[in-house]
Amino acid sequence: METVLQRPRRSFLRDWVFTVDHKKIGIMYGVTALFFFLIGGLFALLVRTELLTPDGRFVSVQTYNEFYTMHASIMVFAVIIPILTGAFGNYLVPLQIGARDMAFPRMNALSYWLYLIGGLVLFSSMFFGMPDAGWTSYPPYSIQSEGPGIDLWVTSIHLVGLSSILGSINFIVTIHRMRAPGLTYNRLPLFTWSMMVTAFMQLFATPALAGAVTTLLTDRHWHTVFYTASAGGDPMMYQHLFWFYSHPAVYIMILPAFGIISEVIPVFARKPIFGYHAIAYSSVAIGFLGFFVWAHHMFVAGMQLSAGIPFMISSLIIAVPTSVKIFNWLATLWGGAVAYEVPLMFAALGFIGSFIIGGFSGVLIAAVPLDLHLHDTYFIVAHIHYVLFGGSVMCVMAGLYYWFPKVTGRMYNNKLGHLSFWLYFIGTQITFFPMHFVGLAGMPRRYALYAPEFQFWNDVSTVGAYILGAATLIVIFNLAWSAVYGKEAAANPWGARTLEWQTSSPPPAHNFDKIPVVTENPYGPYDKPEGEPGLSPA
C-alpha cells in the first residue's frame, strides 16, 4: 500500500501569525513582553536620570510626568501581567496538566493579538502624546489632562483588559476540564494551581477597571459627570473602582510568581516541596482575601479614618498566607541538597531575600497610623518595587532560566546567568532600599523637583537603576544568543518531575506522544542527579 504524505506547508505567517499552538503563543507573549520590558526599563532610567539632581536639569516636569506614567503603565499592563499569565501560563499550563493545548486555542491567539495591539497603542503614545497622570490616572486631573495621551492609555487598558478576561476564561476551563487521567487537584503542579487562582482574580477584578477607565473616557469626551464634583459626581468613585481591580492586580502579578518559586525550589533542593497543600490553599486564601483590602490605598483619600480599620485588619491578615508560603519554601530548602544553579539563585536568594522586604514594608503601611505619614511618599515606591521587582521580576528571571532549556532545547550560558543574578540582586537593593529613607523623611512621590536634602539617596538609587539596566541587557543577550548557539540540552536537564519535563525539549506540536497517566504528586522524592547534564555537583 502506498501512502502519500504531503508535507505541511510552512512559512513565518503560518508558523507564527496564524498559530493557535499554546507553546508558540506563549513564546510570542514572552518575546513581546521582554520587548516592552526594555521600553519600560528605558523609561525607568530616564526617570532616575532626571532625579540625579534636585532641580530637574534633564527634562521638563511635564516630560518627567509622562516618563513615570509610561514606565509604570508599561511595566504593569504590558510586561508583568502578560509575561506571567500570557507567557509562562500559556506555555506551561497545558504541558503541566498533560493536555495537547488550551481549551480554546483560537481564543488564546486572540488574547495574544489583543495584548500586542494594546501594548502597541500605549507604545505609540510616544509619538502622539504620552499620558501624564500616572498609572492610576485619577480624575479630575486625568479628565483635565490635554492631548491624546490619556485616551490612548484608556484604549490600551481596554485591549489588554479584554485580553486578560479571555485568557482567564481559557485557563479556568483548561485547568478544570483538560487534566490528564489521574491528575487530581491534589496532584496539580503548584504553578498551575497559582494560575487557576490568578485566572479567577482576573475574571472578577478586570471588569471594575474597565468600568473605571470607560467612565473616565466618557467624562473626557462625552460630557458625562461621573467624576465632576460640582455636577454631583464623585472623584472617589473612580478610586474605589480602580483599586477594586488594582489591588487584586498586585496578587495577579505575584501569585504566578509564587507558583514559579514552588516549581524551582524543590527541584534544585532535590527534596519534596514542604507543605504542598498549605502552599496550594494559601494561594486560594490570597485570591479570596485579595478582594477585601482595596481601600488600604485610600486611607487618606477622603474616607472616614475609622472606616479604614477593617481594611487595615484584612490587609494585615493577607500577610499570613504569604508568610505561610515563605516558611514552607524555607522548610523545603532545609535538609535539601541545594544546587547553586541560576534559577535557584533567583528563586531563593533573589526572590525570598528581596521580596520579604516588600512584604514587611507592606505590613507597616497597612497600619492606618503609619500610612497617614507614609502614603504617597517614596516609602510606597520602595514597597511596590520590592514587591514587583524584588518579587515578580526575580521570579520571572528564575522562570526564564529554569524553563529556557525546555522551550529552546538549548542551555543558557551559565557564567552570564550567574553574573546577571548578582547584578540583579545587588542592583535591586541599591536602587530600592534608599527609597525607604527618603520616604520616611517625607519626600513625596511623582516629584520631578525635590528638596536638596534628598539628593544623596536619590543618586544612590539612580546608580542602582543603571546596574539593573545593564543586568537586563545581559539577560536578554544571554537568552537570545543561547537560543541559537547554546549547548543542546536534554529533555529533562534538571531532573524535574512535573509533566512538562517528561516530553522532549522543545516539546512536539502535540506535546505528548501519549497522554500521560498521573499516579502521584509531582514533587519527589527525587532521584540522584548524577549523570544529568546541566547540574554541577559541587
Most distant CA atoms of the chain, gap in Å: 86
Residue nearest to Cu ion (CB): 247
Q: Which of 22, 23, 179, 247 binds Cu ion (CB under 5 A)?
A: 247
Residue 437 engages another protein in binding (rule: CB under 8 A): yes
Residue 284 engages another protein in binding (rule: CB under 8 A): no
The Cα–Cα gap between 93 and 264 comes to 15
CA 29, 35, 40: angle at the middle one, nearest 5?
115
Residue 70 engages another protein in binding (rule: CB under 8 A): no
247 binds, among another protein, Cu ion, none (CB under 5 to 8 A by kind): Cu ion
**Binding window for another protein (CB under 8 A); candidates: 7-15, 84-92, 149-157, 304-312:** 304-312
Q: Which amino acid is at 261?
A: I
Residue 333 engages another protein in binding (rule: CB under 8 A): yes
Shortest distance, CB of residue 256 to Cu ion, whole angstroms?
Answer: 17
Mapped onto helix, strand or coil, the DSSP state of residue 389 is helix
DSSP string, 218-240: HHHHS---TT-GGGT--HHHHHH
The Cα–Cα gap between 167 and 89 comes to 9
Contact track, another protein, 32-61, x by CB under 8 A: ------------------------x----x
379 binds, among Cu ion, another protein, none (CB under 5 to 8 A by kind): none
Residue 17 engages another protein in binding (rule: CB under 8 A): no
Distance from the first to the final alpha carbon of the chain: 57
Query: Is the Cβ of residue 366 or residue 496 nearer to another protein in the bound state?
Result: 366
287 binds, among Cu ion, another protein, none (CB under 5 to 8 A by kind): none
Residue 319 engages another protein in binding (rule: CB under 8 A): yes
Residue 324 engages another protein in binding (rule: CB under 8 A): yes
Residue 375 engages Cu ion in binding (rule: CB under 5 A): no
The Cα–Cα gap between 112 and 367 comes to 39
Nearest to 247 by CA among 192, 203, 191, 209: 209
Nearest to 211 by CA among 234, 235, 238, 232: 238
Q: Which of 438, 471, 496, 499 binds another protein (CB under 8 A)?
A: 438
Shortest distance, CB of residue 471 to Cu ion, whole angstroms?
Answer: 28
Mapped onto helix, strand or coil, the DSSP state of residue 377 is strand
Shortest distance, CB of residue 293 to Cu ion, whole angstroms?
Answer: 6
**Binding window for another protein (CB under 8 A); candidates: 29-37, 122-130, 312-320, 468-476:** 312-320
HEC profile of 87-128: HHHHHHHHHHCCCCCCCCHHHHHHHHHHHHHHHHHHHHHHHH
Query: Is the Cβ of residue 17 or residue 305 nearer to another protein in the bound state?
Result: 305
Residues in contact with Cu ion by the rule CB under 5 A: 247
